[in-house]
Structure 1
């Protein structure tokens, strides 16, 4: 075999690209530390601060804090003023790093790759054997990280944008209907809808016992336990309450038999009811998903989504980048006649589905 000719410029460019990704992994650890230690909160809205002042405000050791600040400044996560030897968090950076209620707050999402590293031995075995890894088999940080990653995004979009994009659904919610949130996780999406529509009753469904327990705690804390219930059930056997709305929030592609789940939804829908399908943003062709968002979702799909679908029977393993065409086919096979895209964000596509 002939020795390949190496293009030095291409090699250098790819090495730089790989090192940038490696640096991002290191930075994720720093972001998680900064959030948990209150370092971003110490910087937010305070103007330029010395390392000593940041450490004092956060109750941390100055020498560690100075090194952390320099790492953050090198990565562009905070600003550094050389003349005064001070550090500053801009308003835009604060929205991403310090504001827990911001729709673009990201520190908690770093729990997901932390869990992926912790789960590497399971992933190695799964890749070699083809077996699945169920949601509950992952490191505990997985469920927490995913819930936190989606919570604020749903808060920004679900009630003000996505539900109004569905024909007639808001009016029915205001009048009062039964709603199912299939794959509800920690219940954030369920509770957002319950807070907005007090005449409707909401039922969160999930197979993961720890997530159901967390969802019930959140409902109690929000004072919504009288109108919101959470039950442990599968997407194919939850109670038929003739729902006016059935929601799948970033869930359908995780299921081992999405057609069966869609078929059960068809049976459990009240006449004129709607399925709201929210899925990770994806196009139909691989070449159209080769982006930063696609990189994120394909990686997560490799270790989380496909792994759970295989553990769940693996009849049809969609993955997190299924695309509209494959999703529409799932519901066509389940007997639905209406499937349209109602809204989209850089991270999600929202579909309206009816029989």
Structure 2
């Protein structure tokens, strides 16, 4: 939708799934979007340097086999004044802090049954959806992001929005 709303901008999308990229390319072609470039590639292997003004990920980093490298590559790919927006599950890295979270049982179940297995099947860290804001912040800072601003949206109680 962003490519349609901002026709003077260029959009690049990465996905490890050839099928997802093929579907995305078909969708872009169907809507006449010539400002979209979709690439089938593991984001832990991107090598872009200061190329992008804005990079976004949505519920994706915790699924990666090598999230540390992914975050570092994102930082490298951003222009000096670029912004990274990472939307990810709202939770704490510490189970005891999530005991009153109304969706914790669902989120931990989804994490174990999908998120962790996706990462672990690739020999990865297996962070899972409930990796939490403490670890997310620590990893963003380790990747070279100096200021991490975490926002919550009233319409979206499930996610945090990290702006770096």
TM-score of the aligned structures, taking structure 1 as reference length: 0.43
**2-side partners of 1:320 and 1:234: how far apart?**
19
Q: Which consecutive residues of structure 2, in runs of 5 or more, have no partner in the other structure?
A: none
> Given the alignment, which residue of 44, 54, 58 partners 1:249?
58
Higher strand proportion, which one?
2
Considering fraction of residues, name the structure with more helix. 1
Listed one character per residue, the Cα deviations across residues 114-171 of structure 1 (whole Å, up to 9, x for unaligned) are xxxxxxxxxxxxxxxxxxxxxxxxxxxxxxxxxxxxxxxxxxxxxxxxxxxxxxxxxx
Q: How does 1:292-303 map to 2 (within 5 A)?
A: 292-303=102-113
Asked whether the equivalents of residues 90 and 133 of structure 2 are also in contact (C-alpha less than 8 Å), the reply is no
What is the CA RMSD across the aligned residues, in angstroms? Answer: 1.6
Equivalent residue for 2:44, pick from 220, 236, 239: 236
Runs of 4+ in 1 over 4 A off after TM superposition: none
Indicate the residue corresponding to 2:161 in structure 1.
350
Instruction: Identify unmatched segments of 5+ residues in structure 1.
Output: 1-191
Quote the residue 1:37 is aligned against: none
Deviation, 1:284, is 3.5
Match of 1:127 in 2: none
Cα distance in 2 for partners of 1:223, 1:237 equals 29
Q: Distance in 2 between matches of 1:293 and 1:236?
A: 30
- Distance in 1 (alpha carbons) for counterparts of 2:81 and 2:152: 20
Q: Which has the larger radius of gyration?
A: 1
**Counterpart residue number, 1:173:** none
Shift of 1:203: 0.7
**2:143 aligned with 1:322, yes or no?**
no
Bigger relative contact order, structure 1 or 2 (CA pairs below 8 A, ≥6 apart): 2
Q: 2:88 & 2:40 partners in 1: Cα distance?
A: 22
